[in-house]
Amino acid sequence: MADHGEDKTHFGYKDVEATQKADMVAEVFHSVASKYDLMNDVMSFGVHRYWKRFTIECAAVRPGMRILDLAGGTGDLTAKFSHLVGETGEVVLADINESMLKVGRAKLQDRGIVGNVNYVQANAEALPFPDNHFDVITIAFGLRNVTDKAKALRSMQRILKPGGKLLVLEFSKPQNAAMQKAYDFYSFQIIPRMGSMIAGDAESYRYLSESIRMHPDQETLKEMMIESGFDQADYINMTNGVVALHRGYKY
């Protein structure tokens, strides 16, 4: 079952057939892959680096751990995790989108990050890994693009080791009206223009802004994580709730 109906789901603000959404999202990321890192820096004024750094700190990764960086795209988290787990550990960079995976692999290899990183093209709703396999799973700015978020969360819970944790870094709901108003203006008036100028694609960035508004708010996502089998879940708001880091624990 998709997010709001038996056969329908949302693609930004549009209702589409649930079976079509993955392909439509894929087209967005095929289009933006080559400019993805640059656009992240420009759109967030570099603040996305702080959000990701905080996520890495919360992951508390140690040498020898096995980490899944899901929807890992161009590999920002994977690069750091690779150093933290060391030669005895493993990091899997997984993404449903082949274009993003290629950009990520090339970027990391150019930086000399090889050996303990593997690359897997995978759908978050049906992850191709054994039960109780990973110490930590991260998904940064990817969950909102998944068609059936509950199914994906259950898939993540299944492959997480007892004692492990899931970290979901995602855009969320600003915590005051003034921030919400400014954020809406920026998202719908400025970001598509940046997308047009820098990536030659306003429409994909309009979709990304819409997809943020359709994503569950902080409390709803927390409840979804509990319903998906996590024994405990909480979240930390950043930048007044523009972004939230949800943490799910499996005991």
CA distances from 86 to 17, 91, 104 (A): 43, 10, 19
69 is in an annotated binding site: no
95 is in an annotated binding site: yes
| Residue 164 buriedness (CB in 10 A; 0-12 / 13-18 / 19+) | buried
| Residue 172 buriedness (CB in 10 A; 0-12 / 13-18 / 19+) | buried
59 is in an annotated binding site: no
124 is in an annotated binding site: yes
DSSP state string for 147-205: S-HHHHHHHHHHHEEEEEEEEEEEE---SSHHHHHHHHHIIIIIHHHHIIIIIS-HHHH
Binding-site residues for S-adenosyl-L-methionine: 74, 95, 123-124
Binding-site residues: 74, 95, 123-124
